[in-house]
Amino acid sequence: MTPRVASNIRPGRSALLAGVLALAACWGAVAGPAPSPSRWNSGPGQFYRRNWGVEVVGVKPVSSGYMLAFRYRVLDPDKAKILNERKSRAYLVDEATGTALMVPTMENVGELRPGATPEAGRTYFMIFGNPGQLVKSGSRVSVVAGGLRIDGLVVQ
């Protein structure tokens, strides 16, 4: 099944400001100590830690719900580099509707996702556009980047 892609993700000035504010809010999480892992990490999270070198922190709505922030902590930079490679398309899929939400690209900033080589112990994020607040708190989502697919995440 090919996911539907939300088509109205081209941000205007207000969305640009919201994206920059979301980026600034997330920056504090990257620079500070790593947040505690969600309950999701106790079971299926072990697979992603072992095989992909990441610990999923969670998915939260930002910018009044018009964007979603996916946060993850890198444990093994070699395994986790797929998440930071800009050439691998990243999107978030709402499991109920199959709608795929893309990472917005800002004119002067670029994609709202990391592009640098990952470092062990650091927490990174990706911002996904959520036009019309399609995905709400409590929704089950999947994050896809290259060959990596993380299923069963619940938006906090």
Instruction: Judge contact between 137 and 151, C-beta under 8 A.
Output: no
Number of domains, the chain:
1
Amino acid in position 119: E
Instruction: Judge contact between 19 and 11, C-beta under 8 A.
Output: yes
- Give pLDDT tens digits for 15-51: 544 554 454 444 444 433 333 444 444 567 888 999 9
| Cα–Cα–Cα angle for 95, 70, 46, rounded to 5 degrees | 80
Domain range for 107: 4-154
User: Residue 6: enclosing H or E segment and its boundaries?
Assistant: none
- Looking at the chain, the whole-number percentage of residues with pLDDT higher than 70 is 72
Q: What is the predicted pLDDT for the residue at 6?
A: 56
Residue for token pair 């620079």: 31
